[in-house]
Structure 1
Amino acid sequence: MSQTEVARAESLDEQDPHWREKDGDRKPKSRRPANTAFRQQRLKAWQPILTPKTVLPLFFIVGIIFAPIGGLLIWASSQVQEIVIDYSDCKDEAPWAPETSPIADRVRSSFKSSKSTSIPMWQKRWENKTLKGTSQRKNTTICSLFFDIPDPIGPPVFLYYRLTNFYQNHRRYVQSLDLEQLKGKPLDNNTISGSSCDPLRIDPVTKKAYYPCGLIANSLFNDSISYPNLVNIGPYVMTNKGIAWDSDKELIKTTKYKPWEVVPPPNWKERYPNGYTDDDPIPDLHEDEEFMVWMRTAGLPTFSKLSLRNDTAAMEAGNYRLDIDDHFRVTEYGGTKSILISTRTVMGGKNPFMGIAYVVVGGICIVLGALFTVAHLVKPRKLGDHTYLTWNSEHPSTAIATGRDDRLGSNTL
């Protein structure tokens, strides 16, 4: 193709990019992109030039904004009143009632007032109790915690249980459940066998499916926490309704299984020693918000899960007693368990980390801005100064002679 023909083709490309398709018999198709701003990379773009006059103010602006925000977050966190009591070893170390022993080293509290009228204590006792949600009775270790609330707190008031060294974020643990089963569908054994409930899918003895199947449900936190009882006055009534997310309530439904079609998970055998029966029917998980809270796995090995709440009445100051049915063993895997009674602010519970992070970032920006400003004033640098370019500097070569003559292709001595 001659230069004239090439020029004519390019001209036609600009006028009508599809002319080759219309006249394909005469001219071959071109691989040249269409002559548009996008195809030819002629779109307008903003490329800011970073200069001291634009960068230094940004450091100070970020510092001035972040530092006060961090201070407000730290202040909001300090307004949360809470008490945390570790009762991991209560079953093994607490004295039998009526004796008590101090546990000040196991208690951490944060209240507006530092006054306290009593030392935290604990004790344990045996009691024949009906297991939660069933007709079964069992001799249970009751751990009693005695503590002081120096100031009225709330409402709202929340009671959590806190576990440490419990890895709910393990991949196999997180995946060990069947969403279809939790939605109430009566899945057959073949379906359960192919689900992600492994390794707790089918009972090896009865050959029936577990309900609910999987590791998460099997390891359900089963300590029963009673209402805090104000000594000589009465209980501070709380509820376990409204502790789960609405999305969890939409996910977990009442099952359509019949009692004889499924069996409880291995760790539930204490509550259901004879399996699901007419006296101890299949639990309605759609109404069990504590189960829903447990099934929403935590992302870290130390976590707190809501157990009880009171949104209407304040928790009065005074000496309290809290009874806990101690079933959940944590010492076997080196973990701990605690109860946490807390209030909240508009920023949530007590957690100063975010505030500290904002203050640190703001402080670093102000310090860097000050240092760079001083450096710019003391030794300013001209914008676009070519003397800072190393590729164009006339420095003597630092190459080491190797004694090789490339032209001759031989070594010289």
Structure 2
Amino acid sequence: MDDTSPPESIDQTKEKKKSRRPANTAFRQQRLKAWQPILTPKTVIPLFFVIGIICAPVGGLLIYASSTVKELRIDYTNCFRDAPTADLALMDDSLVFPSFKTNNTINAMWQRTERVNYTYGTHTVQNLTMCTLQFEIPEEMSPPVLLYYRLENFYQNHRRYVASFFDKQLAGDDVSLADVEASGCDPLASSNSKAFYPCGLIANSVFNDTIMSPVFLNPPTSDGNLTYEMKNTSIAWESDKELYKPRVSTNLDNILPPPNWQIRYPNGTYTTDNPPPNLHDDEHFIVWMRTAGLPTFSKLWGRNDTSAMQIGTYSMEIIDNFRTDQYQGKKSIVITTLSVMGGKNNFLGILWLVVGGFCIALALLFLITNLIKPRKLGDHTYLSWNNAPSSAAAKGKGKASGPTIGMATGRDLS
């Protein structure tokens, strides 16, 4: 008996060839069901009407909501130079921008006071300029009342400016001089082998005017002046505040204030009595560090969420340090209320009105065109490959006239 087993078949030993053909599934073979809308006059024209009917009223409501906001903006750019030193003087109307419902009589006045001393922390800075603004509030402003400073022609969106900060330093980490110099803070990273804290162009250019709370000069319920308190808390986003922490290190010998900050510290250095600021609590600094996308912007300085700003005359003092004339810019204070849609801004409402009006105009145009000269749906003679040239055009005698003749190309459907 033969014990040898028969050889394995060739089919069993031969390796199967790998196939690159996709699997025969609906997804792989692109047989999935899909919605293929057919844009006909019966669907397009009503759609444009619906969009226009929705957008136009929304735009009107946005403009109405913006019109309910009461706002006063006063440009004090040249107060340090043009305002008188003796007495208050009326400001030019081109510097005052009121927005109230019934009465826009502001009677804004200004005055500058030179050689003023002001204390930052425990350090007193001498020979400063103070600008005093006096104005009238013609209508009661319900809380919340917000106080902004507005800058024009200040480009916080410059590429190098936006990147000039060190996130680890702002987060309070104990970073070395080499770390700061290797960060994006250049060209304001260090000086004399000491790191700037905080470093970078954004921190150095922080808005350093000191705006005092308005003082109510003629309150009806009191014989003296009343200060309308504007608090400087809750003006920054909570998510932004989490990015800024106080310094972990207590060593002050290896850091310096930025150049524009040094006037506020004795001999331009940090000391135990005048330590670096706690950036987590300095919400004015946090608001400034969120850079604006446009050269004209407003940033929140203070707010009052509890009491209304009553009708009357107010005075406001500002320590004028931030000189915008150096870069041909302007600065203003803005006192405003809010509506259900936010602050005063007509752009969004106008945009919705324009879109709604444009859609309604297109719908009317398509409707009239469809009524005057309707077009048969599914007419293949309108296809480019079915348009045969006329005999005149074929002979080169000019533009073809008359109806075109459908050509049998094999692409037309039976």
**TM-score interval, smaller chain:** 0.7 to 0.9
Q: What does residue 269 of structure 1 align with?
A: 262
The share of aligned pairs that are identical, in percent, is 56
Amino acid aligned to 1:210:
F
Q: What does residue 150 of structure 1 align with?
A: 138
> How far, CA to CA, are the matches of 1:133 and 1:293 in structure 2?
20
- Deviation by residue 1:126-185 (Cα, 9 ceiling, x = unmatched): 253234334132121111111110011020000000001111111111110011001101
* Aligned with residue 184 of structure 2, among 174, 177, 196: 196
By how many angstroms is 1:29 displaced? 2.4
> How far, CA to CA, are the matches of 1:398 and 1:167 in structure 2?
62
* Aligned with residue 171 of structure 1, among 155, 159, 176: 159
By how many angstroms is 1:26 displaced? 5.2
By how many angstroms is 1:273 displaced? 4.1
C-alpha spacing 1:184/1:80, structure 2 compared with 1 (3 Å): same
- Deviation by residue 1:331-387 (Cα, 9 ceiling, x = unmatched): 111100000000001211000100000011101111110111011011110101122
SS in structure 1 opposite 2:264?
Answer: coil
Amino acid aligned to 2:156:
Q
Q: What does residue 292 of structure 1 align with?
A: 286
C-alpha spacing 1:387/1:268, structure 2 compared with 1 (3 Å): same
RMSD, aligned CA? 1.8
> How far, CA to CA, are the matches of 1:26 and 1:269 in structure 2?
81
User: Is 2:43 the counterpart of 1:54?
Assistant: yes
By how many angstroms is 1:283 displaced? 1.3
By how many angstroms is 1:272 displaced? 1.7
Q: In terms of mean alpha carbon deviation, does 137-146 or 289-298 score higher?
A: 137-146
> How far, CA to CA, are the matches of 1:202 and 1:89 in structure 2?
33
User: Is 2:32 the counterpart of 1:39?
Assistant: no
Q: What does residue 65 of structure 1 align with?
A: 54
> How far, CA to CA, are the matches of 1:399 and 1:329 in structure 2?
77
User: Is 2:200 the counterpart of 1:211?
Assistant: no
User: Is 2:235 the counterpart of 1:243?
Assistant: yes
SS in structure 2 opposite 1:251?
Answer: coil
Q: What does residue 98 of structure 1 align with?
A: 87
- Deviation by residue 1:74-123 (Cα, 9 ceiling, x = unmatched): 0000000000000001101111132423332200011122153x521111
> How far, CA to CA, are the matches of 1:348 and 1:237 in structure 2?
22
User: Is 2:169 the counterpart of 1:181?
Assistant: yes
Q: What does residue 140 of structure 1 align with?
A: 128
Which residues of 2 match residues 313-392 of structure 1 at below 5 A? 313-392=307-386
Contact 1:200-1:215 at 8 Å conserved across structures: yes
SS in structure 2 opposite 1:361?
Answer: helix
Contact 2:147-2:334 at 8 Å conserved across structures: yes
Q: In terms of mean alpha carbon deviation, does 161-170 or 280-289 score higher?
A: 280-289
> How far, CA to CA, are the matches of 2:91 and 2:300 in structure 1?
26
> How far, CA to CA, are the matches of 1:342 and 1:86 in structure 2?
15
> How far, CA to CA, are the matches of 2:68 and 2:310 in structure 1?
17
The number of aligned residues is 377
By how many angstroms is 1:398 displaced? 5.6
Q: What does residue 74 of structure 1 align with?
A: 63
Q: In terms of mean alpha carbon deviation, does 325-334 or 94-103 score higher?
A: 94-103
By how many angstroms is 1:31 displaced? 2.2
Q: In terms of mean alpha carbon deviation, does 344-353 or 391-400 score higher?
A: 391-400
> How far, CA to CA, are the matches of 2:326 and 2:179 in structure 1?
34
Contact 2:145-2:309 at 8 Å conserved across structures: yes
By how many angstroms is 1:227 displaced? 0.8
User: Is 2:118 the counterpart of 1:125?
Assistant: no
- Deviation by residue 1:172-222 (Cα, 9 ceiling, x = unmatched): 11110011001101201111111111111111x3x1111000000000100
> How far, CA to CA, are the matches of 1:376 and 1:124 in structure 2?
69
Amino acid aligned to 1:339:
I
- Deviation by residue 1:33-53 (Cα, 9 ceiling, x = unmatched): 211111111111111111000
> How far, CA to CA, are the matches of 1:269 and 1:121 in structure 2?
32
SS in structure 2 opposite 1:144?
Answer: strand
Amino acid aligned to 1:197:
C
Please give the TM-score of this superposition, normalised by the length of structure 2: 0.88
